Amino acid sequence: MQVNIRNFCIIAHIDHGKSTLADRLLEVTDTVEQRELKEQTLDQMDLERERGITIKLQPVKINYNYQGVKYDLNLIDTPGHVDFAYEVSRSLAAVDGAILLIDATQGIQAQTLANLYMALNQDLVIIPVINKIDLPNAQIEQTKKAIYDLLGGSEDILLVSGKTGQGVDKLLEAIVEKVPAPKGEPEKPSRALIFDSNYDTYKGVVAYVRVVDGEFKQGQEIYVAGTKTQAEVLELGIFKPKLTKKQTLKTGQIGYIATGLKDVKNCRVGDTLMSLNQKEKTRPLKGYREVKPMVFASFYPKDADQYNLLRDALDRLSLNDASFVFKPESSKALGRGFRGGFLGLLHLEIIQERLKREFNLDLVFTVPTVKYKLKLRANKLPSHLSEKKTDEKGLITIHSPQELPNPAVIEKIFEPYVELEIICLSDYLGNIMEYMSKKRSIYIKTDYLDANRIVLVYELPLQEVITNLHDALKTVTKGYASINYKFTDFRAYDLVRLDFLIAGEAKEELARIVPREKARRIGKAVLEKLKEHLPRQNFAVALQAGIGGKVIARENISALKKDVLAKLYGGDRTRKDKLLKKQKKGKKRMKDFGRVEIPSSAYMKIMKD
């Protein structure tokens, strides 16, 4: 019955215990058999288990008996990292309530605030919960006060331990009592919101849906409103958390629908599924705002024959990850490839790992960058930018250093700025302000969450954020800082293209756009990383950084020394001299013609500098 359904999600900062609490909910309600329970039960990807973080939202149906009445509790477990905020926003649109989970040892963090504001914008019922109360350093009363101040009321705050299960029964009761039953009209034409999806070789596109009105049945002919595509319900069902077949999905339920569609572009996240024979009477649902990538990088197959495999892999990933976008591009040095848009560096790392693991692709990635806007001098449009459209201010957008034209035709370069919030203990205020002074940042204000915790607000270029800012802030605050940021505008700055040469060969994948005054320091830092991570060759390798034709930094990797005299035992000195002379000529020849490949393992290390 619709009145006995509760749709909710868990939102929190990273590492505040969402997945562990979800495990306890599954255990207490016997949703998953004891022998199948494991840590992070709802995290399906190996990467999630290895890193201890949730990357993909994951729904599950929990059966719960409360005061003699059976309830269907549909839980969506969400990520906590700032790069996956779009996953959270999609989950919030599919539910009616949210558990706001806060770690008793860390208190309110940046993503706690960001996720709470998203939930309030969706008019969701908020259930505040303090987790990890079993830990000896739990600060329960202090965390309670911070939550009261944040929510501006005297809501009941539940105390739980996801690890021991303490307080989980009270939480289940609160979900039934406080989260409203889903709205919707069972008698209306069928409508369902697609909040996630994946691809199955046999079932085609499998859409994860919330049924808003009517019902869906196996064999029913359906229509995808946004792409105007017809399909048939090959299979449908619920998450337990494995896909479990049912005959129908009714109003208010969360489940999956296998469409049989083979083209992933025909069934996108945020679209509306409806009954084909009633499509004229049915209005599409609101859907989601289009996500805007913040970070860009290109990737090319090392083997040109894998280009089509790479394209198919990217299609599959973009279906399962609506925040990932890509388009084809080509490079003189690297051949045909794709430029991808990502929400952050972690998002880029995850996509890179998934391409390697799930599709067995060996790729070359370029250094991540942000998008820039160019104001060109009159009538100076370069041929390679001729297809670019100007915006209302007459500016051209580029996404990579390779697109940057000759400086002579550029009047101004504009870069994206963000507003950055840093939450930390007040003890580290001086450390943070000292570090941020080196990041081209503009101080805005300081707010106090409580007597010990502050929120520092800065404006700074997005490029400064994606180059190791989070890790550096963790270092200067001994692990206590957390961050959240949002785009504000584009601002002009004196930027240049910094190129890198290895053994005299320009490496397009390493080029980057940097502030002119920082070019020498950045170039030297990257060359030192290259020297550390590149394997030594049989010849000396020169590493250079330059702007235009001018070299501004240099490092050298010495040659491997092979003992060519090892096979000689005594004999005339001239024999030894002959071998040494031959070796010297060979090294010179290799230096003139040898090429140096950058191992893929070295790329992410270089990217983070």
Q: Are residues 51 and 156 in the same domain?
A: yes
> What pLDDT, in 10s, does the model give residues 294-344?
888 888 888 888 899 999 888 878 766 767 888 898 876 678 889 888 877
If asked whether residues 155 and 15 sit together in one domain, one would say: yes
Beta bridge partners of 215: 250
Decide: helix, strand or coil at residue 90: helix
Q: What's 222's domain CATH number?
A: 2.40.30.10
41 and 126 fall within a common domain: yes
Picking from 257, 281, 305, the residue at the C-terminal end of a domain is: 281
- Report pLDDT for 11: 87
> Could you tell me the maximum CA-CA distance found in the chain, to the nearest angstrom?
102
CATH assignment at residue 561: 3.30.70.2570
3-state secondary structure of 7: strand
Strand partners, 199: 205
Give the domain-ending residue among 368, 403, 430: 368
Distance of alpha carbon 134 from alpha carbon 123, whole angstroms: 32
Same structural domain for residues 508 and 561? Answer: yes
118 inside domain = yes
Residue 202: how many other CB atoms lie within 10 Å: 8
| Number of residues that this document lists for the chain | 609
Cα–Cα distance measured from residue 365 to residue 55, given in angstroms and rounded to the nearest whole number: 21
Say if 134 falls within a structural domain. Answer: yes
* pLDDT, averaged in runs of 10, over the chain (609 residues): 89 82 85 61 50 63 90 81 64 87 88 83 90 91 87 80 90 93 91 85 88 93 90 92 89 92 79 88 76 82 87 81 81 80 81 84 83 85 77 87 87 93 88 91 90 89 84 82 86 93 83 92 90 78 89 86 59 65 58 58 58
Instruction: Give me the torsion for CA of 575, 577, 582, 587, rounded to 10°.
Output: 140
pTM of the predicted model, to two decimals? 0.71
Q: Where are any strands of DSSP class E within 233-271?
A: 235-239, 243-246, 248-250, 254-258
Residues 196 and 325 in one domain: no
Does residue 74 contact residue 7 with C-beta atoms inside 8 Å? yes
Q: Quick one: DSSP state of residue 401? A: G
The CATH number covering residue 62 comes to 3.40.50.300
Q: Which pLDDT tens digit goes with each residue over 416-460?
A: 999 999 988 888 899 999 999 988 999 999 998 877 888 999 999
Q: Report the pLDDT value the prediction gives residue 156, as an integer from 0 to 100.
A: 86
> Does 13 lie in the same domain as 75?
yes
State how far Cα 251 lies from the chain centre: 32
Domain count, the chain: 5
Considering 221, 249, 281, which residue would you say is the last residue of a domain? 281
Q: Are 439 and 505 contained in the same domain?
A: no
How high is the pLDDT of residue 578? 66
Asked whether residue 557 falls in the same domain as residue 603, the answer is: yes
Residue 35 lies in a domain: yes
Q: Is residue 98 part of a domain?
A: yes
Structural contact between residues 373 and 391, judged by C-beta atoms closer than 8 angstroms: yes
Q: Are residues 451 and 389 in the same domain?
A: yes
Q: What is the pLDDT of residue 593?
A: 46
Q: What's residue 80's pLDDT?
A: 53
What is the per-residue pLDDT across 1-20, written as a single tens digit (0 to 9) for each?
Answer: 789 999 998 888 877 888 88
Closest CA to 369 of 458, 289, 293: 293
The domain containing residue 256 runs over which residues?
191-281
3-state secondary structure of 138: coil
**Are 7 and 129 part of one and the same domain?**
yes
